[in-house]
Structure 1
Amino acid sequence: MTDDQKTQPGAGASCGGGPVMTPPPWRRWARPQGGWSLSEVPDLSGRIAVVTGAGRGIGLAAAEHLARHGAHVVALCAAEEGGRAPATALRQSVPGSRMDRVPCDLAQLAQVRHAATDIVRLADGRVDILVNNAAVAALPPTRSPDGYEAHFAINHLGHFALTGHLLPALLNAPEPRVVNVTSVLHWLGRFRPDQVAMPRRYHRWTAYFDSKLANLLFTYGLHAWAGAHDLPLRSIAAHPGLVNTTLGSRALRADARHREARALEWMQARWHSPEQGALSLVRAAADPHIGGGDLLGPGGRWEWSGPPVPARAARRATDPRAAERLWQLSQHLTGHPFPTDGRKPARDRGET
């Protein structure tokens, strides 16, 4: 159990049999205090880092940053997110670096389970860092192959299942941490458990905002679950600010919404690059001073850009009752990848 977990009292509800810890105190809007840079990343040699959505955008940038600091990176990518080019380019620029690629469609829970098996094999049974980054945005009404609304399925449910399947490997690491990538726009989200299949009144951006709120509720739910089981796992959230990527605009153009896509691209192009946006993720993954339950984001105005600092979450994002309800719902929909019988995970029972 980390120091920050020890000092936070329980709060009544439970995630898998233990008390939900009181959410971290509200933070004021952060401003850079001397900043934070890649020079502060410790040597990650010998550590295994899994990054989802690492075929492009901030996922690729985060994977490259971690690999350049010595981590063996396992990049989880959708089939259309490129082949081995990123890993080849990285090896050419950083001799001795290692990046393996595992294809997976996070919308398909069966693929997530198989991908977790491949990751454990590549990582020799131990995962130090899991960065749940992959996301979609602004999709038209779409259901996953398993029957769930696509933003909820990919942005949250697939990552929940992946984390649960990788839990034994995470607990084989001395100081494991899970980083869930959310958005500053989670403030506009709502938790609608009765609409996970498909909202009755669908809006492409509302569905995205709701999924980003779910990322934070999962972060705090996992933080509570780890504390209840006296585990050293740190569950941390990070958001990149406003980043110049094709997230959102890609789906808009595919749906012939070119004017909306151009407006989004115009705004994104004036802020973070993917390399800058990835700094929040990298700090959450590597900074030893960041504790479980923390949220990091850019420290500039409106948290759109700037060096990564502790950020403030919406009150509904740390609601213990909502976190518990989402946890139980996600367990049910994904086949209960986290222990549910009151026992501690394998490492605590002396198993391997």
Structure 2
Amino acid sequence: MTTTTFARTSASPTARVPIADDRAMLKAAAELTRDLNAPRPSVYWADFVASAVLGYAALGVAIVAGPLWLTLAAGVVAMLALYRGMSFIHELTHVKHSALPGFRLGYNVLIGVPMLVPSFMYEGVHNLHHARTRYGTSEDPEYLPLALMKPWSLPLFVLIAALAPVALILRYGVLSPLSLVVPGLRRAVVERYSALAINPHFRRRMPEGEAAKQWNRIETACAVWAMSLIALVATGSISPRAFAIMMIVASAVAVVNQLRTLVAHLWENDGEPMTVTAQYLDSVNVPPPATLPALWAPVGLRYHALHHLLPGLPYHALGEAHRRLSAVLDQDSPYYKANYAGMPGLVAKIARSTMLPR
């Protein structure tokens, strides 16, 4: 779902110098990873199913646990595991479905519908973020020049994500059924409230043909689940405590994901088209030896800059691709300029950018 509009500082009077493509880096990235492009279904399924099972089991423990410490510990495990499971929505937009038969269905059954983040909220949206002429422009659904905005935009950007679970229940439990009977509401729901986008000006197109049929089936399942959840809470079938824990865990998933989004790019582009190398340098890798990114940037998201170089590479191959490129590229290659140590330094870097006079 889209966020609210954030205030921006005035544009810098000094025009940015365009960054030319580094041919050596692009060539090495393409040639050294040709054998890594095939996704491994066994890895995808094992990782995804284990994440979902662990997440729901831990959530159950958090709900029934007596001691507060056990509730908190189980809640953290549930949040991290379900967040990892939800992150596979990103892979769905890049991997050919014929290479992973049934994975979209599996995602929607185990994560998409229960967490009200179905696959269609990212499919048909995220690919626009990777379009060479759209990245960082007003037509990019996943880009905001946060580094050029007011300082208070950053905490607002993160905190607003905490409301996502409530917004999703309203989106599917209230707006979905109403959109079937209220003229004009259906188009508004699809265009404005059916995408995991951060650009408030983005409007997605109405689905057509087979995509529309698939969308309707999945959205119907989400609507039934959201309305059932509302009814179960209203009738007391789900206790206030259990519902509160569920919502807190879901909210924590959204906040951690928003923090990860905050440091996925440097957000320094002011709307102009960028070369592939410029897009890479505006993106972020957090490679080993850092260990915490494995938790807050799971399923290959710690190699986000590399992913923008090689968007078709499956998540389990990104680590090997990074090692290969690091072994052959000269130290003056721009490849290393997108590598960072961790989240705190990145947040500080972006925050400092918002405070610069413009």
TM-score by length of 1: 0.27
Q: Which has the higher contact order (CA 8 A, sep 6+)?
A: 2
Report which of the two has the higher share of strand.
Answer: 1
TM-score by length of 2: 0.26
Structure showing greater radius of gyration is 2
